[in-house]
Structures are given as structure tokens and as C-alpha cells.
Structure 1
Amino acid sequence: MPAIRPSRIARTAPEHCGSFSAAACGNTRTQIPGFKAGGTSGIRSAVTGTPHILLVEDDREISQLVARYLRGNDLRVSLAGDGREMDRLLADSRIDLIILDLMLPGEDGLSICRRLRAQSGVPILMLTAKGEEIDRIVGLEIGADDYLAKPFNPRELLARIRAVLRRGAGTEREEDGARRLAFAGFVLDPDLRQLVNPDGAQVALTAAEFDLLHAMGLRPGRVLSRDQLLDLTQGRAPGPFERSIDVLISRIRQKIERDPRNPEMIKTIRSGGYVFTPAVTRA
């Protein structure tokens, strides 16, 4: 199956609205009916915060053009060139939808889709070569939420993203993450959104504190930067004087550490961020 190239996209311009040419991506909002300058795409209401899209595509030029178009329509976009880069970004960020190319170096898109479905409920929109009906059918059978054949119209890609996000609004994105986490005698329950201490008493946590502790509990032993924690818990980039993560960490330490001034469970890593040190089991 030939991988699509930018020149192939350019040749389809009369039929596909100038799909992903530099000129087409430079001013995207006014090219889509129903979008007004200064307005929003309407996607934001489907998920908390600005939707975060992960595009897994090995052609860097296509990736950059697609990313520029989507960012021009109120979407956050991260790029991965293969399955390993995708895994790293999924571990470090909260992703609302994955656009997954079928033809990738190393692990192919069908294998990645099958693996993702065994681990997570994150929506997947698969990109396939035009006319490869069998691959599209297999992709849907193993768990892809939708597919789009190359070359494609950027308006159609945006419309399909919106539709998939609407269908997935209010559902659990990480099914495995809904399991209870046990550490150092504490039990963190995502369904009840509560923390129980070793004595069996409930620990009062704000919603922001719970989300941060849960994000760290899912990634024990890993150094997480403030930016990563902010993205994982609130789905947004930090401001120039962002200190909210530090404040939340301090409050959580007051509630779970034996000595908050000398913390053992949430350690600060100089110039790195924070690491959650206890062994975590899931039940």
C-alpha cells in the first residue's frame, strides 16, 4: 500500500478544496462554513478543556500541515512519527482522540489500534490509503471509531473529529484508570472519587487534588514535570507564572504525608518536577 505524499495531496487540490497546501492551512477558520473569525469550532463542549489530538503519521510535512489546520480551529495537537513516540505522549499527556495512519515504520497502524483497544477507550480515527476497503473494515472491527481515506478534505477531517468527540463525550477515556489504586495503606477510588487512609477514614480532597493524586498514582516512580501534570489533570498548557501544581502538591502532602516538611511519598526532583514513590497496586 503506497504511503501518501504531499505531492499527491497537492494534485487533488481542485477536487479536495486545496487540501493541506500551505496556503490552505494559513487561514483555516474562514474556509469552513459556519466558522466565524474569533469564534470557536464547537468541539470544546464535547470534552473538558480544549480537545487534545494526537496525530500518529510518519510523513513530517503532512503532519505539520494537518497540525496547523487543526490548531487553527481550536484544537491542541501533538505529533508522533511511530508507535513508540505515540506511547510516550500517551503516558505524558491527556489525549482526547488519536488520528492513526495505517502505514507506519515498525509497528503498523492495525497492530497499534488493536493494542490500544486492549488498554484504553481513547477514540481512534484511522487514516487509510484510498481504495483499501479491507484495511478499513479490519480497522473498524478491531476498535477504530472512524476512518478517512487519503487524500482527504481538511473540512471532512475536522467534521469527523467533531463527530467522534461528540459520540465519546462523557465516557471514560481510560478504562484501566478507573480501577482503585492502593498505596502505603491508602486506597484511591476513581469511581467514588474518594481517598481512604490506612485507618479506614475518608480523606477530604478537592476535585483538583484528587485528579492530581490519581494522575501520579497511575504513574508511580516516574518523574513528572509541572507541565505534564497540568496537562494530565487540566488539559491545558501552563501560563507564564503557573504555580497551581506546586500549591496542590503542598496541600496533598499535608493530607497523606507523615511529615509534610520531609515528604516521603511525593518527592520533589530539582529541575525535574515530582515523583510518586510508593508501590501502587490496582484492584
Structure 2
Amino acid sequence: MFLCNLLSAGVGGQTVLRARIAIVEDEPDLRDAVAEYLGANGYDVTALESAQAMRDAVETEFFHLAILDIAMPGEDGLSLGRWLRSRMPMGIIYATAAGTAIDRIVGLELGADDYMVKPYELREMLARVRSVLRRVPAYEEAPALKQAGEEHVRRAVSFGDFSADLDSRMLTGPAGHTIDMAKSEFDVLEVFLTRPNRLLTRAALSEAIGLTEEPETSRAVDIRVMRLRKKIETDPANPRYLRTVRGEGYIFALPDDAN
């Protein structure tokens, strides 16, 4: 196991939390190379050789992002990623040597934030890590920059029987019950709620949620919209809020008096 330091010195000697990343990879050379490279770029990295080792680590540690090899002996990365999603709001990047369209689509359906085909360039991997971390709710640097005494106004939007807290990234439904949502689903919801009543193309949605330009991107957007509808629409086949504009994209219909 390769473990880098968790804290780094900030301005005036103040300690600043560094993003915690797990790399789960059964190829030792690649695992150590990724861990060393990310560690050198300022991240706290734990390198693990199997899904079981990751499950054990999660019992005592918190991670902001996991890079998971799909094809591993024993439990595969897809199953592990699904389990991790149920435990904590982390970003997930899948890596595989297969690179087939079906692998990409399955990974995105399970809530992956990005996908890499091995062998990949370490610089490309770093760029994808940075992109995903910008969208991970648990990784927040803003409080460290907040001025003393400054009041924080929470961002919240209500529609129908639902209320979305965009800061805590929680959605509550009828009777105040919390709606279970994958990170990828809330990413899409947040884009719609911050850009209501206007057409968003699939390309615009892909860019807003950080999906890479791949042939399967449009399909991945449609899958996330479909999953979101099932959680916020009484009749997903005839949506009240998240409407399709045939051949164009989607519009989130939000009443003018919504807050």
C-alpha cells in the first residue's frame, strides 16, 4: 500500500485538507506510478490492489475520489463502484484495457464521473482527476477561504413537493423525505435548476457536468436524465418538469415563483 501525507502547509502555516484519492488497480507498476504521480501533484493517495482492500479501507477512511480498474481478480470495479456509491458521495473514474462502448455505457449507467482506457497518459489522468474533484460535494475548499464573520447564504431551489439544497447537494421530496441520489444524478439536476426554463442541448449538458467528448456521451446524458425523471416525476413518461425537446435537448420547466 502506498500512502501520501494527508495535510499540506497552507498560507501562514495553516493546514489545508488535501483531496483524498484511492487507486484500486491489480497491476503493481501502474498502481504505484499513478499513486506517485498524484502524490507529487498535491493529493493524498492510497493505492490498493483489490476491491476487498478498498472495502476494508473504507471502513476507517474517507475518500473524495476513486480510480477503479474494471477487470480485477475477484470482485470487479463496476461492482465495487456501485457499493462505494452507497457508502459516501465520492467521485469515480473507471479504467479498463477493454475500451469497448458497452463497458463505457455500463460504467456511466452506474454513476461513473469519467472513464479512461489503459494505457493512459498520467497527465491526462491528472486532468480528469481535477475535473471530477471540482464536482465532488465532499471536497470543498471554499470554507478555508471564507472571511471571518461573513454570512453564507445557502443555495436552495424548490419545485412542486421537492426542495434541492445545492450546497449540501441534498434533495428532499414529499413530507420532507430525503431522495436517494447518485452524484451523477444530482450533477444533472443542479445544471437544470441553475439554468431553468431554457433549452439545454446534450452537448451543453455534457460540458456542464464534465463528460468527455466520446461517441457514447449523448447516450450517457439521456441515461442520467431518465434516472433523474424516475425520482422527481410522478409520471416519467409524461414529465412535468424535465421535458424533452425532440432533436434538440431538454428544458427544466420551473415556475417563475419557485425559490
Could you state the TM-score of these two structures normalised by the residue count of structure 1?
0.42
> Looking at CA atoms only, which structure, 1 or 2, has the larger radius of gyration?
1
User: Which structure would you say has the larger RCO, counting Cα contacts within 8 Å and 6 or more residues apart?
Assistant: 1
Could you state the TM-score of these two structures normalised by the residue count of structure 2?
0.46
